[in-house]
Amino acid sequence: MASLGDPPTYSTPRTLGLALVSLLAALAHFVLGALDYGAVSRYLGLGTMLLAGLLLVFGSLTLIRYAEARDAMGDPYARAPMYATPHETLTVVVGVGLNVAGVLVAAAWAVHGDWPAWHLLAALVNVWAAVLAWRSRPSPDVG
């Protein structure tokens, strides 16, 4: 758990990176899901675009949390505690889960789709985002 004086988890550059990489992964899956739509299955294409929508929402909310945390760091009269919030752990779980799902979907497209190299590149972006999500988890309670 962060101690008083440490920057909040959401205010770190890693959180900003997670938000931006998740948005990049969402855009990649949207484009590839739309362009390679009929190659395998319409349902896989729709599922890919749905996953991209969820990644877009996750990236946007994480970016908003980053901006709020940076703003709150300069607030002399903080209205809410900035440490040990319950959604910090949930952000890690959702971030890792969505991006691992993105890797699996991109791997399925890479095997059966028309543009395997692009799908593998999208999978690498998802791996990068999953690693950032895992590394942004709050530190365990030591005391």
In a domain, 141, yes or no: no
Q: How big is the chain, counted in residues?
A: 143
In terms of residue numbers, what domain contains 92? 13-75+84-136
Which pLDDT band, with edges at 50, 70 and 90, does 48 fall under?
confident
In a domain, 5, yes or no: no
Q: Give the pTM.
A: 0.85
pLDDT average, residue stretch 50-74:
90
In a domain, 4, yes or no: no
In a domain, 31, yes or no: yes
pLDDT average, residue stretch 17-42:
87
* Distance, CA of 121 to CA of 127 (rounded, Å): 10
Domain count, the chain: 1
* Distance, CA of 17 to CA of 125 (rounded, Å): 12
pLDDT computed for residue 38 by the predictor: 66
40 to 11, 84, 101, 108, 109: CA distances (angstroms): 41, 44, 18, 9, 8
* Distance, CA of 29 to CA of 23 (rounded, Å): 10
Backbone angles phi, psi at 138, to 5 degrees: -65, 145
Q: What is the mean pLDDT of the chain?
A: 84
In a domain, 130, yes or no: yes
In a domain, 109, yes or no: yes
Q: Which residue has the tokens 């940076």?
A: 70
Interaxial angle between packed helices 13-35 and 116-135, expressed in degrees from 0 to 180 and rounded to the nearest 10: 160
In a domain, 6, yes or no: no
**Which has the closest alpha carbon to 131: 108, 100, 86?**
100
In a domain, 7, yes or no: no
